Structure 1
Amino acid sequence: MIEIVNYQPQYAPAFRELNKAWIDQYFVMEDSDRKMLDDPQGYILDRGGAIIIALKDKTPVGTCALIKKEDGVYELAKMAVSLEAQGQKIGWKVGLATIEKARELGADTIYLETNSVLKPAISLYYKLGFMEIDGYDSPYSRCNLQMQMKL
């Protein structure tokens, strides 16, 4: 059974490793990644954001962050599911929980940045209700696709 919980400090290593795994598989770690993954409390939570963790048998297998950009606008970032847990709808569950958390935080807009090589992720984002857009400045050299959802 999958349990969706809010981030707690004991999940910091899992948040880092789950994200490092997919970044290393497809890209290279960038300064923006390191800042966020090395200090999720300071970079995400203390600035008004949130992190969702998916647990399977009490073990973190998925995660997603909401980064507050300005009042009402949040970035969905650092969504990851462990290789062993992929194919079990964990990304869907984490995505839905993250969108609900954004609503609780008062978001009216959620955007994300991704890369066109991440086809399963992009398919998930469309299913969750995101649409392609242009216009946000990206801190990532790997970003070639932006998507947005109005709540």
Structure 2
Amino acid sequence: MKKSRLLMITVVLLLVSGLAVHAEYRVESDEGEICAPVQTMILTPPEDVEAKFADVRFPHADHFSYSCMECHHMWDGYSDINACMDCHDATEYISRKEAKEDYIMYYQSAYHALCRDCHAEIGRKNTDIKKENKGKPDKDKVALLPNGPKSCNGCHSVKAE
């Protein structure tokens, strides 16, 4: 009896842990059902790059209010989605001034242009909302847009070891 109960508990725990690891968010779209991972992703630099800052913890599910195309701008809507560094694979810094549009192929420039610049834009919109509502009786109840970190330490919690 004890062995069967232990076996049953073990099976249940394995199933639950497997579901947690492979959790997905399913959405109906014009193309059919889309599945997206809900876990927090750890963004790391390419293997041959010495990190100056800690890895970035990216809460994917916090971004589900945006279209997939906001970040995955080359996705065709059908095939598997690539990671940023599948295309933005340059590991040597490319100056925007010198390379014009090619600077974005440097993996770090791609992340910063997308993530940091989006968070900064939302911050500017929230500043405008606050200005528009300054002096109004319910100014503290005005809904601001959800926003993420805007500083280096907001994403890179500590320096790389």
Scaled by the length of structure 1, the TM-score of the pair is: 0.29
Q: Greater share of strand residues, 1 or 2?
A: 1
Structure number, greater radius of gyration: 2
Q: Greater share of helix residues, 1 or 2?
A: 2
Scaled by the length of structure 2, the TM-score of the pair is: 0.28
